[in-house]
């Protein structure tokens, strides 16, 4: 339910990929950051450890995205 929830994997494109493709790189990073904050904010009141794992997933995706952007900028 954290890494690949079935309700986000219907059709030919995973939801996170479609979201990324619909945004600028900076907007996508903001989206990821917002989700980290959301899950950290609510973990004590809603889904506990699962929300912490979701926050971690979005943080890992943000780190991956920032590293990719930094690598792309070096090649310019």
pTM exceeds cut of 0.85: no
| Cα separation, 61 vs 57, whole angstroms | 6
Domain encompassing residue 67: 6-74
Could you tell me if residue 17 is inside a domain?
yes
Could you tell me if residue 10 is inside a domain?
yes
| Of 36, 57, 38, residue with least CA distance to 46 | 38
Q: pLDDT truncated to tens, each residue of the chain (76 aa)? A: 666 666 666 677 888 999 999 999 999 999 999 999 999 999 999 999 999 999 999 999 999 999 998 776 665 4
Into how many domains does the chain fold? 1
């Amino acid at each position: 339910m954290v890494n690949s929830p079935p309700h986000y994997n219907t059709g030919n494109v995973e939801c996170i990929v479609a979201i990324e493709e619909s945004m600028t790189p900076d907007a996508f990073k903001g989206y990821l950051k917002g989700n980290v904050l959301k899950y950290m904010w609510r973990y004590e009141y809603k889904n506990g450890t699962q929300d912490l794992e979701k926050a971690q997933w979005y943080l890992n995706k943000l780190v991956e995205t920032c590293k990719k952007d930094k690598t792309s900028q070096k090649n310019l």
